[in-house]
Every structure is written in structure tokens, then in C-alpha cells.
Amino acid sequence: MNPIISGASVIAAGLAIGLAAIGPGIGQGTAAAQAVEGLARQPEAEGKIRGTLLLSLAFMESLTIYGLVVALCLLFANPFAGYYIRALTFYAKRYF
């Protein structure tokens, strides 16, 4: 594999998992803060607040897992490596 494609894939994988973790991390912190505030205001609604909080945290965590899947695809099943080789051979045959 071309070293430029390999290096770009590693950088893109790092950015994918980094950016995919920022949003859910902020969202989970905000959701937990609001849940604690809701529990302080209405302790009798603890069961409903806790269930909703856990469901929303699971959905937020799934976004991070999608970022991890994209990063792993870029590292181990790179879809751009074959395209680069085909394009390079096409232009080499055409112009040389």
C-alpha cells in the first residue's frame, strides 16, 4: 500500500474516533447533570428519570461506537487503497 494512503488513513482514523467521542461525551455530561437536577427537584420521579437517562446514554454511546467502526474500517479494510491503485494505473496507461 502507498505510504501516503497509509498515513492519511491513520490520521483519518484518529480524527474519526476523536471527533466521534467529543459530541457524546459532552451530551452525556449534560444529560447526567440534568438528571441529577431533576432528581433534586422531584425525588418521587426517580424511576422514570433513571430509565430515560439510561436509554439516552445508550443512544449517545452508539454514536461513539459508529466512530470506532469507521476508524477500524479505515485502518484494516481501507476502501481507498484499491481506488488509488486503479486510478494510478489508468492515468499511467493514458499519459505514458
Q: Which CATH code of 1.20.20.10, 1.20.1250.20, 3.50.50.60, 2.40.110.10 fits the domain covering 3-95? A: 1.20.20.10
pLDDT in tens, 21-60: 998 999 999 999 999 999 999 999 999 999 999 999 999 9
3-state secondary structure of 42: coil
How does residue 88 score in pLDDT terms, banded at 50, 70 and 90?
Answer: low
The answer for residues whose C-beta is within 8 angstroms of residue 30's C-beta and 6 or more apart is none
Cell of 91: 492515468
Please say whether the beta carbons of 81 and 5 come within 8 A: yes
Q: Could you tell me the residue ranges of all domains in the chain?
A: 3-95
Q: Are 13 and 82 in contact (CB under 8 A)?
A: no
